[in-house]
Amino acid sequence: MENHEQGKERFSKRLSQNEVEKCMIFLPFAVVASFLEFQEGHLFRMDVVDSLGKAWSFMGMFQINEEFGNYVSISWPQFAAEKGLKANDEVIFMEKPRQEGEESCKQLKVRIKRKIRLFGQDIWGELMV
């Protein structure tokens, strides 16, 4: 998981088969703590914009687990279905620059990258659907 790209705050994760099947992403608390506001056991809404400019709202929850540690689960069934997410896809969330007159709260942009094999080489390309 990374936290910076060209000066922008970001975090990313490769999806597991379990996450694809459940249409959820599980992120360690420490990775998302500066991006999201939440309380243990309470649902929160995460508003994002995809690479095509479409707005999405995901539901999430912060959970404490002795075995796995503190984590955030984010549910996105419609997004996962429309994007055709697969195991090993990389999901990248980054801070979206605010435009003049926009709310002062942090807004996020989401990008999906998928590895393809082209002429014997692995290439990561952005999923534009």
Pairing of strands 8-14, 4-5: antiparallel
Q: Which two tokens stand for residue 96?
A: 């979206």
Q: Are 44 and 60 in contact (CB under 8 A)?
A: yes
Compare 73 and 105 and report the one with higher pLDDT. Answer: 73
Domain parsing of the chain, residue ranges: 4-126
Per-residue model confidence (pLDDT) at position 17: 97
Per-residue model confidence (pLDDT) at position 22: 96
For 120, left (φ over 0), alpha (ψ -120 to 50), or beta?
left
Q: Which option is the CATH number for 4-126: 2.30.140.10, 2.40.330.10, 2.30.130.60, 3.50.50.60?
A: 2.40.330.10
Q: Averaged over 28-36, what is the pLDDT?
A: 83
Percent of the chain with pLDDT over 90: 46
| Residues in contact with 3: Cβ distance below 8 Å, sequence separation at least 6, in sequence order | 9, 10, 11, 31
- pLDDT tens-place string over residues 51-82: 999 999 999 998 888 887 889 999 999 999 99
Q: How far apart are CA 88 and CA 111, in angstroms?
A: 14
